[in-house]
Structure 1
Amino acid sequence: MSKMKFNLVEDPWIKVLDKKTTEIKKLTLIEVFTNTSRYSRLSGEMSSQDLAVMRFLLAILTTVYLRFDMDGNAYPWLDKKENFFVEPNKEFEKLRGNKWKKDILLTWKKLYDQGQFSDVVVQYLKENKELFDIFGSNPFYQVTKEEYNKLVEDKKRLTDKKQPGSVSLKQINRRISESGNSQAIFSPRTESTKNELSLDELVRWLIMYQNYAGTTDKSKIKDKEKVSVSAGWLYKINPVYLDGNDLFETLMLNLVLLGNDKDFYLPKPMWEWKNVEEYVDSLRTRICPKNIPEIYTNLSRLIYIDWNDSKHLKIYSAGLPMFNALNAFIEPMATWKIDKKSGGYLPIRRGLNTLGKEMWQNFGLYVKINQNDSDHKPGIVKWANELKRNGFLERDEILSMKMVDLIDDGNASSQMPAAEIVDDLTLNLDVIFDDSDKFYWPERIEQVIQDTQAIGNDIYYLGKDIGNLRKVANPQEYADKLRGNFYLRINIPFKKWLTSLSIEDDRDEKIIVWRTKLEKIIEEYEGNILSNISKKDIIGIKDGDGNIINIFTEFNKFKNKVYKHLKKEAL
């Protein structure tokens, strides 16, 4: 073990897609931050893994640029210390929002205009490379055996006779997520290779696992309060981020340097804590972090890796407490819902029952749909508005919001990954942040979405009626299938319509364009259904009043509903 080495700063592990060659390359941290604009995006094993790695990269950038300007000078209210750490000086107590925000925003603007990150990021990494060493005395995202035994419950300590709390590589690999109790049926690996990972793979999965751990762990740390084994933070928030034209632009758009608070908080990623015990003590308080790097690098598991046999690694995991998520607005990527008990906000978490729902159908979660809308929107969207208001983004720039969500199996005792959703919502920046009253675009868009979804419900009830007419075994299942096919047909056309909108548009004319397109799609859809009718469909059945119900009476009823939602005269 002593000869093994792997450092995230100097050894390649980050998978990216090269813009020119379209090849996937593996890079070191230094290479990523030196040549970021050469790459289209991160390109690891899963989109949710890429998101976890991106948040790790953002934690580094946020830490550096909340301390230093583009030229590497500490801000006036901070004094530079060893290893590019800082501490507040006498100016810190005099800080007022506009002053510090102006200086920090200027750093962001200079970086964006320059098109690359400045040397101070690489300098920070070189000075602190021991904090990113997989095999160091403070191993990255891990603990030593001594630390593990000191922090876990006494009965879960590792001894020569008992070794509880083990986790296999095939469980940390979230494409397999196979525990010792249940076999993954559709695994991308054969049984003989499920527990094999290269060191660069292990690093990527380790970062992801800390963000997307389930609840199968039997070991947990000791605490005065009862510690519930919690899922990883990213597993809980239905995350959304801003997608740029290349990796540099994506990182810059998501480089949130202003939080929701007027006060300035020093950044503190988990690797900068004095020691593991101090970090765990902070988690025991259940208090939400006040700085973004800390929440981006929040650990959900205490992990010890026994490297004595590199071919058969032994990994031990213990659950850590999760902070209170109520009004945790420091998290920029969460979507929010009102908590009925407290009246505050909690992150939204999607379930398997939402797999067929497109991002645009939840338009109001991301965009303020009217001037009186008081619901809390994602911090990342507010950040984009801040950049627009300061003139850092072009008025007619297209903004793409991307959602990557790993959905669990719905079993509270396991929460194993069951599905991954990737979706996007792309609109003109001025449309999203329309400042007009009478012609406010988001309100009109939301109405169009509601009308379109109402037609989706009309199709569902048409399906149930046809199912009952045909006496199918499960009319509701048949109806769900019809509605699902309808959304598949309209998804791309509706997204294209959204992207085509501009602030100068005549709202009514553009809405008519969509209604016309939608009507044509519905007619084609009706034709497909009617092409498969039988003699029994035409003859029909009698209802309770003795009236004949057949395929044509049901379609007439359906068309009247659709015309109402298309704002046309009924038949």
Structure 2
Amino acid sequence: MDGKEPEMEFNLLDEPWIVVKTKANETKTWSILELFEHAHEAQELAGEIPTQDIAIMRLLLAIMHGAFVTENIETVDDAIELWTDLWKEKQFRFDEIKAYLEPYHDRFWLFHPTQPFYQSAHIQQNMDAYKIAKTKKETISSKSNWKTIARLAGDLFQSDNKQRLFPTRTGEAQKELTYPEAARWLLHLNGFDDNSAKMPTPKGTGYLGQLGLLYARGRNLFETLMLNFVLVDDRDEVFADGEENSKAYWEKPVCETIEREIPQPRAQKDLLTMQSRRIFLRREHNMVTGYLLTMGDYFAKDASLLNETMTVWIKNKFERFIPKIHRPAYQMWRDFSSLLCVKENTESKMPGVIYWLQLLDDNLEEIKPLNICAIGASYEQKSTAIQIVDYIQDSLVINASLLAKMNEIWIQEIINTLKKTEEAVDSLGDFAIDIKEASGDNLDGDDFAKKEKKKIKEKIKDFTREDGYYHLDQVFRNWLLCVDPNKDELEKRMEEWLFIAKRTLLQLAQEYLKQCSETAIVGRMKKDNEKNQIEIFSAIKSFQKFQYRIKNILG
């Protein structure tokens, strides 16, 4: 600080800092209390990037767990009854939320001499103490390694040493943030930081960056928060948010310890407000101009974090369930088997939020199209550093009736149908390789080293597969949205998709055929090793082979 700013400044409960989109498509900025009072009047959170919104959403959910869950919520029936009573009111019980937050008002100051929100006020002293303990020296040179906002603002997306080619901010906006902006990016940094915290060496990215995040979206912000207000785990045990020893960030003393391994929380409000990093914001002349950063809390490598409700789980090579990370440019519906898996699937576990929505089936009758959204950050290893290279956002709209347990057979049949679709798309990739060879590119001869031939084939197949899925993407989404187990006939619906997939892939293969060179159409002589004879190898014959394959697969 420069000595002029007040000790306590910008309280997040009272000051507007959360960006929302209203039903009139207007953008407004609300405080935490304003948001809970008017959530039913807003469409959604509308911050700079989706990962920022999910970080803020988790903060709001933690407040809901603190305000509404008591020790009286002991069983699944208790939890569903509480949720149903809140849902029926169509807006939050603002008085209860306000009464809950009132005793913690001082913990929500963005700037405070001892307990600034989501920050460590004594971070420099803690860093010095850590260095002394590590080097075993009596004194060290205390030097503040202030980072610029270029690493704090996720939409600016650049390092301190290398400028972005096409920045979203220019001029002074690249050097400073307003308090509302800084508050939003503070939550984002805590959850999605790469490994820029050099001391100590980070145990991976921020906690949220290690998840393939999923959430359910409602028709307004109230519904979205309620749909993700998960009170029960997949063993039908109530989360421990009503117990005395479960505490959100603002309910417990500030931890100044650098690098701390913590046990898996049983309560959601503990997990939703986990402090992956220790951060301290620098303010000058009513603007934030930099920050200090160190490692924070982390879980043991072998920790089972199945209490996390916002991610899909898959088994790793050690037969342990771990979060399944989203892949860039990989459509969400292709992971349908993990998203809505059935009990028989032992290789993955559905997200806790999906399991919870299954329990709420009767209450969701009014929300027929249910929107499941995927959010994440994509990281890459660059030299010794892990850096964010992109943000991931996708969604899948399904009929809420599919979540009913009586309709698990529908889920299984859709999964089986998608397996056939995947096999058909693989065949399209083989067809593309055949065309390449028919054009005269000898991928089987001695002209290429074996590794080079394999790489070329893999590239051709990967590109063609992605092209196939690109053409199937929208038609599958439209088909899935129309699936209604309460009205449709199972076999006819599955046959309908197989026909759509076959028609789409055949049309795409025909386009490939039209683009072939004359050489590929005429063909060339090639030895068939299986038949031990010379045959004409052409694009036309390859297309006929593809037709035969795809009809066998899709019917």
TM-score (norm 1): 0.84
Corresponding position of 1:105: 80
Q: Out of 236, 239, 248, which is 2:213 matched to?
A: 239
Distance 1:335 1:372, change over 3 A: closer
Give the drift of 1:46: 0.5
Given that 1:230 and 1:319 are in contact with CA atoms closer than 8 Å, whether structure 2 keeps it comes out as no
Residues in 1 aligned to 2:516 and 2:546: alpha-carbon distance in whole angstroms? 16
Q: Which amino acid aligns with 2:30?
A: L
Given that 1:131 and 1:139 are in contact with CA atoms closer than 8 Å, whether structure 2 keeps it comes out as yes
Residues in 1 aligned to 2:308 and 2:221: alpha-carbon distance in whole angstroms? 21
Residues in 2 aligned to 1:436 and 1:146: alpha-carbon distance in whole angstroms? 53
Give the drift of 1:16: 0.5
Corresponding position of 2:155: 175
The correspondence of residues 358-507 of structure 1 with structure 2, limited to 5 A, is 358-369=331-342, 371=344, 375-388=348-361, 391-394=362-365, 397-411=368-382, 413-435=384-406, 440-470=409-439, 474-504=456-486, 505-507=488-490
Distance 1:373 1:238, change over 3 A: same
Partner secondary structure for residue 547 of structure 1: strand
Residues in 2 aligned to 1:51 and 1:136: alpha-carbon distance in whole angstroms? 25
Partner secondary structure for residue 502 of structure 2: helix
Partner secondary structure for residue 134 of structure 1: strand
Residues in 2 aligned to 1:412 and 1:34: alpha-carbon distance in whole angstroms? 48
Residues in 2 aligned to 1:161 and 1:26: alpha-carbon distance in whole angstroms? 43
Partner secondary structure for residue 124 of structure 1: helix
Residues in 2 aligned to 1:229 and 1:523: alpha-carbon distance in whole angstroms? 48
Corresponding position of 1:198: 178
Q: Which amino acid aligns with 1:14?
A: I
Residues in 2 aligned to 1:454 and 1:124: alpha-carbon distance in whole angstroms? 54
Give the drift of 1:186: 3.7
Corresponding position of 1:513: 496
Corresponding position of 1:30: 33
Residues matched between the structures, number:
520
* Residue 287, structure 1, aligned to residue 266, structure 2: no
Q: Out of 16, 21, 24, which is 1:17 matched to?
A: 21
Corresponding position of 2:530: none
Give the drift of 1:191: 6.2
Corresponding position of 2:306: 329
Distance 1:115 1:530, change over 3 A: same
1:17-44 CA deviation, whole Å, 9 max, x = no partner? 111x201111111110001011110001
Corresponding position of 2:323: 347
Q: Out of 252, 267, 279, which is 1:273 matched to?
A: 252
* Residue 541, structure 1, aligned to residue 529, structure 2: no
Partner secondary structure for residue 157 of structure 2: coil
Distance 1:453 1:372, change over 3 A: closer
Given that 1:148 and 1:302 are in contact with CA atoms closer than 8 Å, whether structure 2 keeps it comes out as no
Give the drift of 1:307: 2.8
Partner secondary structure for residue 499 of structure 2: helix
Residues in 2 aligned to 1:372 and 1:296: alpha-carbon distance in whole angstroms? 28
The runs of 5 or more residues in structure 1 that have no matched partner are 68-74, 77-94, 221-226
1:82-140 CA deviation, whole Å, 9 max, x = no partner? xxxxxxxxxxxxx9x43xx4444322211100011111112223332211111123100
The correspondence of residues 110-189 of structure 1 with structure 2, limited to 5 A, is 110-118=85-93, 119-137=95-113, 138-145=115-122, 148-149=125-126, 153-155=130-132, 162-189=142-169
Q: Which moved more, 1:356-365 or 1:515-524?
A: 515-524
Partner secondary structure for residue 324 of structure 1: coil
The runs of 5 or more residues in structure 2 that have no matched partner are 442-452, 528-532
Residues in 2 aligned to 1:130 and 1:141: alpha-carbon distance in whole angstroms? 12
Corresponding position of 1:84: none
Q: Which amino acid aligns with 1:188?
A: T
RMSD over aligned CA atoms reads 2.7
1:437-469 CA deviation, whole Å, 9 max, x = no partner? 8xx111110111111111111111111222233
Residues in 1 aligned to 2:27 and 2:366: alpha-carbon distance in whole angstroms? 34
Identity %: 23
Given that 1:215 and 1:413 are in contact with CA atoms closer than 8 Å, whether structure 2 keeps it comes out as no
